[in-house]
Structure 1
Amino acid sequence: MPGWSCLVTGAGGFLGRRIIRMLGQEKELQELRVYIRTFKPILKEELSKLQTKTKVTVLQGDILDAQCLRRACQGISAVIHTAAVIDVSGVIPRQTIVDVNVKGTQLLLDACVEASVPVFVYSSSISVAGPNSYKEVIRNASEEEHLESTWPDPYSYSKKMAEKAVLAANGCTLKNGGTLHTCALRLPFIYGEECQSTSFAIKATLKNNGIHKKLATFSVVSPVYVDNAAWAHILAARGLQDPKKSPSIQGQFYYISDDTPHQSYDDFFCTLSKEWGIRLSTWSLPLPLLYWLAFLLEMVSFLLRPVYSYRPPFNRHLVTLLNSVFTFSYKKAQRDLGYEPRVSWEEAKQKTSEWIGTVVKQYKETLSSKTQ
């Protein structure tokens, strides 16, 4: 891949920033092109840390702006598409999620064809595979099992449709007569330093005197450390450009995980944060009762809709996501992409825990300044 160039969408996000960091270390990369909607300070800080001779270009634009996407793709060798709206709680309007995740992905694929970009790597999600019921047990599932989510919620639906569009585009003829090669990486919950959802959870727990409420204690999941998730994208982009590896990768999807121990979300959260005084609540509702309580809350929301907009604190889909046995094997990614986790569980745990310590410290300092 002498002198290749790469466009990263969603570059201001948690995963996108780590991908940029790793691409900055690619010796053969001539240009790193960053596509974002808003140039946030955290991305500016990330870019300032890059020690690379690679040309770095920042482009601001909407993922739904076809003309802007075509300009962004001009002269690019590979696209890594991470931009997406993530919402499993029903906060964001359905149409917004579907537009960004499905229409935005299709517009980017069209731009690649128009600009003759031969490689497209898509950040997908395990939510396209389920879980469909908390009663169903899925352990170390492989790609050959053809699991598919049946939930109508906008996030799972949109990621599933976008992934199908990406894989269907594999083999398309480019404007210059070349061929588009695509693949998708299905990612579980991604953790690590600067994870926004973890930061929110820590602050909510500290407000509750350091006691973490049990809402996901019945699950068994396989989270992935952010650096390992990012590394898989680099390998996929490399592999699709390698004449020897590319034929086995084209049009394929891969589950990406690492050696993080499989456990419940609640236990995982406390494993990372217990050093800072975080502890689990001693009680929780039985799972069937929690599920039907979610159903009742959804009914209340539905009945009130004509006169009042009520958003339940949780729904059946969220209860299912947080309380299912749902783990995956990364053997196919090992075989085809040469993927091996770059960061061990012990190192990932230490780095994440140290970062959580800074979140706790900042929260307490802010609270102290307000009370003075």
Structure 2
Amino acid sequence: MSLAGVKCLVTGAGGFLGQRIVCQLLEEEEGLAEIRATDKAISSEALRRFGKQKTKTLLTTMQGDIRDAAFLHKAVQGVSLVIHTACIIDTLGHVDRQTLWDVNVRGTQLLLEACLRNDVQYFVYTSSLEVTGPNSRGDPIFNGDEDTVYQRTKTFPYAETKKEAEKSVLELDSQPLQDGSRFVTCALRSMFIFGEESPFLLLHLDETIQNDNVFYRMSRKEALVNPVYVGNIAWGHIQVAKAMRDPEKVQHIRGKFYYISDDTPHLSYADFTYELIKELGYGIAPKLPMPLTMLYYYALLLEIVSFLLQPFVRYIPTLNRPLLTLLNTPFTFSYRKAQRDFGYAPRYSWKEAKQLTGQWIAKIDPLRRAYLKNKAL
């Protein structure tokens, strides 16, 4: 099944993942009728990237807020497929809880309401591994799947909003539409995403340069995770969208969530980042700066200081206990069910993903060095 002739809305199209989804949709051999790329802001660089694609598909860019019901109503008119990636990612507390909730949860609910009012039939939601965990105890999962039982506990506000938004999406599956059809929804729980233009890799690169070219280790070697390449998670969205239009496959998909990973090696977050930057001559700290238990107490102290300073100044620690747990809990998942139910298979091998990411890092490395040097002057 193809997406030929489909009108598709991609939210968060200016973001790291959203841009890649739009580009892959534009590359489809059997072109879509229209792709509407929406975001609160779409950079000139993103527009340039979209413009490089040789396609007959109409690309419409729309700038607006996911919290604006009138904007969403306009954005979905005449559309049959929505791929919803727009959200705020925040693991340190830079964004207040209400804003996180309004964008990630209420924004998703408003989009769903607009879809139901306008007979949008298919809805793919970009969820997160953090909907599952890890929990506050740091209980590990090795090669888990959608049937893995895991006791979840309260965690980041970001993770809570993604959980609630995913619930809203999946609960509305099979809702009747005015044209007599039924709403089809599913959610893709992504691993940590890496690749060219990754804001997190850019942040890590800057920190490493400022630390005399040594990456600062904050995760144990045994805390294995399996990141996913941005080109593969984007491809997963397109593959599931195609399968939703298949009368046989859709019954296996509707109302369900899927873990999307690829063949990236299982490493700790720190060792994985090092794997991507080591060819540029960077090093990595051999161990944590202090024993893990002491790090937890240190993070707790930072949280207490942040709380006590609230009446006077806004202090956001660079480390907190949930983040430390996330970085030091073995947490890996298989994509077998996605492969079985809708034919997901990584579009890029680990070798290709590493090469493409490495080339991007090598290109921006001298630029970041010059920027940081000038910033320090």
TM-score by length of 1: 0.96
Cα distance, 1:48 vs structure 2: 1.1
In the alignment, which of 141, 145, 153 is matched to residue 142 of structure 1?
A: 145
Does residue 13 of the first structure (1) align with residue 18 of the second (2)?
no
Letter in 2 for 1:22: Q
Does residue 243 of the first structure (1) align with residue 260 of the second (2)?
no
In the alignment, which of 102, 106, 109 is matched to residue 103 of structure 1?
A: 106
Alpha-carbon distance in structure 1 between the residues aligned to 2:323 and 2:361? 24
Q: In terms of mean alpha carbon deviation, does 197-206 or 274-283 score higher? A: 274-283
Alpha-carbon distance in structure 2 between the residues aligned to 1:116 and 1:371? 54
Cα distance, 1:2 vs structure 2: 4.5
Percent of paired sites with the same residue: 48
Does residue 331 of the first structure (1) align with residue 336 of the second (2)?
yes
Does residue 74 of the first structure (1) align with residue 77 of the second (2)?
yes
Equivalent residues in 2 for 1:20-169 (5 A)? Answer: 20-26=22-28, 27-133=30-136, 135-147=138-150, 149-169=152-172
Alpha-carbon distance in structure 2 between the residues aligned to 1:213 and 1:160? 31
Q: In terms of mean alpha carbon deviation, does 101-110 or 29-38 score higher? A: 29-38
Q: Is the 8 A contact 1:134 1:323 kept in 2?
A: no
What is the RMSD computed on CA atoms of the aligned residues?
1.6
Q: In terms of mean alpha carbon deviation, does 180-189 or 37-46 score higher? A: 37-46
Query: What SS class does the counterpart of residue 173 from structure 2 fall into?
Result: coil
Name 1:309's counterpart in structure 2.
Answer: 314
Alpha-carbon distance in structure 2 between the residues aligned to 1:135 and 1:152? 11
CA deviations over 1:66-100 (Å, ceiling 9, x no partner): 11111111111100000000000111111111110
Alpha-carbon distance in structure 2 between the residues aligned to 1:68 and 1:367? 39
Letter in 1 for 2:318: P
Letter in 2 for 1:189: F
Query: What SS class does the counterpart of residue 8 from structure 1 fall into?
Result: strand
Letter in 1 for 2:236: A
In the alignment, which of 204, 207, 229 is matched to residue 207 of structure 2?
A: 204
Cα distance, 1:169 vs structure 2: 0.6
Alpha-carbon distance in structure 1 between the residues aligned to 2:298 and 2:193? 28
Name 1:271's counterpart in structure 2.
Answer: 275
TM-score by length of 2: 0.95
Query: What SS class does the counterpart of residue 221 from structure 1 fall into?
Result: coil
Distance 1:175 1:147, change over 3 A: farther
Distance 1:13 1:2, change over 3 A: closer
Letter in 1 for 2:97: R
Q: In terms of mean alpha carbon deviation, does 26-35 or 306-315 score higher? A: 306-315
Alpha-carbon distance in structure 1 between the residues aligned to 2:237 and 2:371? 37
Cα distance, 1:4 vs structure 2: 1.2
Alpha-carbon distance in structure 2 between the residues aligned to 1:371 and 1:252? 49
Q: Is the 8 A contact 1:119 1:182 kept in 2?
A: yes
Letter in 2 for 1:359: I
Name 2:357's counterpart in structure 1.
Answer: 352
Structure 1: state its 5+ residue gaps: none
Cα distance, 1:309 vs structure 2: 2.5
Alpha-carbon distance in structure 2 between the residues aligned to 1:29 and 1:287? 51
Distance 1:93 1:135, change over 3 A: closer
Cα distance, 1:160 vs structure 2: 0.1
Structure 2: state its 5+ residue gaps: none
Runs of 4+ in 1 over 6 A off after TM superposition: 368-372
Query: What SS class does the counterpart of residue 33 from structure 2 fall into?
Result: strand
Query: What SS class does the counterpart of residue 144 from structure 1 fall into?
Result: coil
Name 1:253's counterpart in structure 2.
Answer: 257
Q: In terms of mean alpha carbon deviation, does 131-140 or 337-346 score higher? A: 131-140
Alpha-carbon distance in structure 1 between the residues aligned to 2:37 and 2:96? 27
The number of aligned residues is 372
Cα distance, 1:272 vs structure 2: 0.6
Alpha-carbon distance in structure 2 between the residues aligned to 1:330 and 1:289? 35
CA deviations over 1:137-195 (Å, ceiling 9, x no partner): 21011101244642242100000000000000101112333210000000011001111
